[in-house]
């Protein structure tokens, strides 16, 4: 029966193999163990940063549900990139595979996806998050107003948030993607074919998806308009 130590050792070997590209049966040296511990420490920082930003979003959602009687956020999902995916992205960009390289070059290791009901909710949540004095905006890409050629729509923010550890405060970057339920549904389907082959059939499906993205975008705009009309009719004079 595997002990907790055995399980942890196996996980560390998998991490070391996936990120640093060593052989599975390679023994841990003092140097390799130090590199692994540095990587684990970095992943802890990213997980902690996700908790910080997620809490801020949840508090905003709770506040708005009282003040506006409307929950702008339908759901929040988060993830930290797996070691293999991190290493693969570094190699794809011709960058060294190291802990220092991750910190210096990648902004999307820690990711949060925020699903909203309406387009206006996206911009409201983004503005309120960025208004907080301990959040620093690094980059902002609006793929709602300027969709990608394939039809992808979402608001992307790279933010830096301070995370407090026993050794002091450290700024950590998190990618926040904010989109509507409809945009998220489309993105989930598009993701399934993104890395498929380039056969004519797949290309045809990609074009149909692009058309669907336009239809979904028009529906989002219409739903926002209907919401505003309903609010105007029910507003107390």
Which residue numbers are catalytic? 175
The answer to whether the beta carbons of residues 113 and 78 sit under 8 Å apart is: yes
Looking at residue 27, the DSSP 8-state letter turns out to be P
Half-sphere exposure of 108 (CA within 13 A, CB side): 12
Name, in order, each residue with C-beta under 8 angstroms of 216's C-beta and a sequence gap of 6 or more: 153, 182, 183, 185, 186
Half-sphere exposure of 65 (CA within 13 A, CB side): 11
Q: Vertex 9, ends 3 and 14: CA angle to 5°?
A: 130
Q: 3-state DSSP helix/strand/coil percent for the chain, to nearest 5?
A: 55, 20, 25
Report H helices in 68-175: 83-92, 99-105, 119-130
Looking at residue 2, the DSSP 8-state letter turns out to be -
């Amino acid at each position: 029966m595997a002990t907790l130590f055995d399980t942890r050792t196996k996980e560390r070997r998998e991490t070391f193999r996936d990120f640093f590209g060593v052989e599975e049966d390679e023994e841990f040296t003092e140097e390799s163990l130090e590199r692994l511990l540095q990587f684990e420490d970095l992943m802890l920082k990213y997980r902690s940063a996700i908790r910080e930003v997620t809490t801020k979003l949840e508090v905003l959602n709770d506040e708005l549900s009282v003040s506006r009687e409307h929950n702008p956020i339908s759901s929040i999902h988060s993830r930290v990139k797996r070691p293999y995916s991190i290493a693969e992205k570094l190699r794809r960009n011709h960058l060294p595979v190291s802990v220092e390289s991750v910190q210096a070059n990648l902004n999307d290791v820690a990711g949060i996806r925020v699903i909203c009901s309406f387009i206006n909710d996206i911009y409201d949540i983004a503005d309120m998050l960025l208004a907080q004095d301990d959040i620093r905006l690094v980059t902002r890409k609006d793929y709602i107003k300027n969709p990608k050629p394939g039809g992808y729509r979402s608001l992307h923010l790279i933010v830096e948030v301070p995370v407090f550890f026993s050794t002091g405060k450290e700024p950590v970057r998190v990618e926040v993607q904010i989109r509507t339920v409809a945009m998220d549904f489309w993105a989930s389907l598009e993701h399934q074919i993104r890395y498929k082959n380039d056969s004519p059939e797949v290309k045809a499906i990609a074009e149909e998806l692009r058309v669907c993205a336009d239809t979904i975008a028009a529906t989002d705009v219409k739903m926002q308009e209907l919401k505003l009309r309903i609010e105007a009719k029910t507003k107390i004079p």
